[in-house]
């Protein structure tokens, strides 16, 4: 029944999806944390930059960002991501760059809402014993904020997993790319659709359940 799968590297395509997700998640977490720190910092210029970044990036479709990474950044700006000759590697890295840059805005917003969950009294107490802004943020606020935003971050991660399909727009051979190729060549449209749908359910459902459980367990009880 599933003999149409022969000749196609479905697992390889999903592995590409997983790699895209993992690297972009890491990138967006780092960038998003930086942006969140900027948005709550005492330096007005940094605050302004953080706010502008989030509001601009959030309103541009991810597809536009990814296609721009390929046509604009690589072709015009010469950003080759360390792989000027290998277009496959270059496409992959550009996709990671685009995905990380886009989702960093959402990570930043999630973290910022987490920072708001920390009672002001704690930050006041921390300041009263003489901790500096970066110490308050590092030792008191961010650890608690991270624990309370596992849920929202799980949402971002799941959205990111599904958004990796947009990388197909610049020819990264992940799941959506392979599915497009397969349903054009093979007759079993519905079976192919079911296989790929199942793949994404397998990827996103455990993530959501695991992180949902984790967020309940780790939430700071107040």
Interface residues for other proteins in 156-175 (CB under 8 A)? 156, 158-160, 162-163, 165-166, 168-169, 175
146 binds other proteins (CB under 8 A): no
Cα–Cα nearest to 89, from 193, 170, 190: 170
CA separation for the pair 58, 104 (Å, rounded): 10
Q: How far is the CB of 192 from other proteins (least distance, A)?
A: 8
User: Which stretch in 7-15, 81-89, 90-98, 146-154 sits in contact with other proteins by CB under 8 A?
Assistant: 146-154
Q: How far is the CB of 1 from other proteins (least distance, A)?
A: 19
- 88/218 with CB nearer other proteins: 218
Q: How far is the CB of 97 from other proteins (least distance, A)?
A: 15
139 binds other proteins (CB under 8 A): no
- 18/67 with CB nearer other proteins: 67
| Tokens of residue 195, six digits | 């296989």
Of residues 68, 83, 89, 191, which one binds other proteins by CB under 8 A?
Answer: 68
36 binds other proteins (CB under 8 A): no
Of residues 22, 64, 83, 89, which one binds other proteins by CB under 8 A?
Answer: 64
| Tokens of residue 205, six digits | 């459902």
16 binds other proteins (CB under 8 A): no
- Mutual angle of helices 44-59 and 10-39, in 10-degree steps: 150
Cα–Cα nearest to 153, from 95, 205, 214: 214
Number of residues in contact with other proteins under rule CB under 8 A: 83
CA separation for the pair 92, 114 (Å, rounded): 32
Cα–Cα nearest to 73, from 84, 86, 60: 84
CA separation for the pair 200, 214 (Å, rounded): 21
């Amino acid at each position: 029944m599933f003999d149409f799968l022969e000749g196609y590297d479905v697992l390889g395509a999903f592995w590409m999806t997983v790699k895209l997700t993992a690297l972009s998640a890491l990138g967006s977490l780092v960038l998003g944390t930086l942006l969140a720190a900027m948005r709550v910092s005492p330096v007005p210029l940094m605050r302004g930059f953080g706010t502008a970044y989030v509001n601009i990036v959030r309103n541009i479709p991810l597809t536009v960002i990814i296609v721009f990474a390929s046509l604009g950044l690589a072709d015009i700006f010469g950003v080759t991501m360390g792989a000027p000759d290998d277009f496959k590697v270059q496409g992959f890295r550009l996709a990671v760059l685009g995905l990380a840059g886009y989702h960093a805005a959402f990570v930043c917003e999630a973290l910022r809402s987490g920072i708001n969950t920390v009672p002001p009294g704690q930050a006041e107490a921390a300041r009263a014993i003489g901790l500096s802004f970066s110490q308050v943020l590092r030792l008191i606020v961010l650890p608690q904020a991270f624990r309370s935003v596992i849920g929202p971050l799980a949402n971002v991660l799941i959205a990111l997993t599904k958004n990796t399909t947009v990388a197909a727009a610049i020819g990264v051979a992940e799941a959506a790319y392979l599915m497009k190729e397969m349903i054009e060549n093979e007759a079993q449209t519905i079976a192919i659709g079911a296989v790929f749908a199942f793949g994404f359910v397998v990827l996103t459902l455990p993530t959501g359940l695991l992180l949902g459980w984790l967020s309940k367990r780790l939430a700071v009880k107040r």
